[in-house]
Amino acid sequence: MNNSNPNSASIAVAVDAPSALEAMVDLRHPLKAKAMAWADENMVSDDLAERDASCTFWSDGWDRAVDADVLKLRVSPEYGGLGLDVVSALLWFEALGYSGNDAGLNFALACQVWTMQPIIERFGDDDQKARYLPGLVSGDLKGAFTITETESGSDTFSMGTTYAPGDDETYVLNGTKAYVTMAPEADVFIVFATKDPALGSWGVTTFLVDADTPGLVVGENRPKMGLRTTPFADLTFDNCVVPASNRVGPEGAGASIFSSAMEAERAFVLAAQIGSMERQLDDAVAFARERQQFGKPIGDFQAVSHRIANMKLRHENSRLLLYKAAALDQAGQPSMETAALAKIQASEASIDSSVDAILTHGARGYVTEYGVEQDLRNVAGGVVYGGTSDIQRNVVAHQLGLG
Ligand X SMILES: Cc1cc2nc3c(=O)[nH]c(=O)nc-3n(C[C@H](O)[C@H](O)[C@H](O)COP(=O)(O)OP(=O)(O)OC[C@H]3O[C@@H](n4cnc5c(N)ncnc54)[C@H](O)[C@@H]3O)c2cc1C
Question: Where in the sequence numbering do the catalytic residues fall?
Answer: 265
Cα separation, 195 vs 174, in Å, equals 11
Does position 390 bind ligand X by CB under 6 A?
yes
- Nearest distance from C-beta of residue 394 to ligand X, angstroms: 5
| Residue range at the interface with ligand X (CB under 6 A); choices 146-154, 213-221, 284-292, 305-313 | 146-154
| Residue range at the interface with ligand X (CB under 6 A); choices 75-83, 252-260, 295-303, 379-387 | 379-387
10 Å Cβ neighbour count for 118? 18
Cα separation, 319 vs 107, in Å, equals 18
Does position 179 bind ligand X by CB under 6 A?
yes
Q: How far is CA 43 from CA 68, 153, 232, 369, 379, in A?
A: 11, 33, 21, 19, 19
Alpha helix segments (H runs only) across 177-301: 254-262, 265-268, 271-290
Cα separation, 257 vs 249, in Å, equals 8
CB 376 within 8 A of CB 297: no
Contacts of 195 (CB under 8 A, 6+ apart): 162, 163, 164, 203, 205, 251, 252
- Nearest distance from C-beta of residue 148 to ligand X, angstroms: 3
- Nearest distance from C-beta of residue 378 to ligand X, angstroms: 9
Does position 140 bind ligand X by CB under 6 A?
no
| Residue range at the interface with ligand X (CB under 6 A); choices 6-14, 209-217, 282-290, 378-386 | 378-386
Does position 153 bind ligand X by CB under 6 A?
yes
Binding mask 205-244 for ligand X (x = CB under 6 A): ----------------------x-----------------
Does position 392 bind ligand X by CB under 6 A?
no
Cα separation, 105 vs 228, in Å, equals 9
The residues in 154-173 that bind ligand X, with binding defined as CB under 6 A, are 154
Size of the site for ligand X (CB under 6 A): 18
Does position 385 bind ligand X by CB under 6 A?
yes
Does position 259 bind ligand X by CB under 6 A?
no
For residue 201, the 8-state DSSP code is G
| Residue range at the interface with ligand X (CB under 6 A); choices 2-10, 61-69, 118-126, 174-182 | 174-182
| Residue range at the interface with ligand X (CB under 6 A); choices 5-13, 40-48, 74-82, 388-396 | 388-396
Does position 23 bind ligand X by CB under 6 A?
no
Cα separation, 113 vs 111, in Å, equals 6
First to last CA, the chain: 43
What is the b/e burial string over 230-244, where b = at least 16 CB atoms within 10 angstroms of the residue's CB? bbbbbbebeebbbbe
Nearest to ligand X of 306, 398 (CB atom): 398
- Nearest distance from C-beta of residue 160 to ligand X, angstroms: 13
Among 106, 181, 276, 374, binds ligand X (CB under 6 A): 181
- Nearest distance from C-beta of residue 389 to ligand X, angstroms: 7
Nearest to ligand X of 181, 206 (CB atom): 181
Q: Please provide the DSSP assignment of 53-92 as one string.
A: HHT---HHHHHHHHHTTGGGSSS-GGGT-----HHHHHHH
- Nearest distance from C-beta of residue 144 to ligand X, angstroms: 6
Closest CA to 236 of 214, 216, 221, 222: 216
Does position 394 bind ligand X by CB under 6 A?
yes
CB 180 within 8 A of CB 192: no
Among 39, 147, 281, 341, binds ligand X (CB under 6 A): 147
Q: Closest-CB residue for ligand X?
A: 153
- Nearest distance from C-beta of residue 56 to ligand X, angstroms: 16
For residue 225, the 8-state DSSP code is S
Cα separation, 380 vs 365, in Å, equals 16
Site residues for ligand X per CB under 6 A: 145-148, 153-154, 179-181, 227, 381, 384-385, 387-388, 390-391, 394
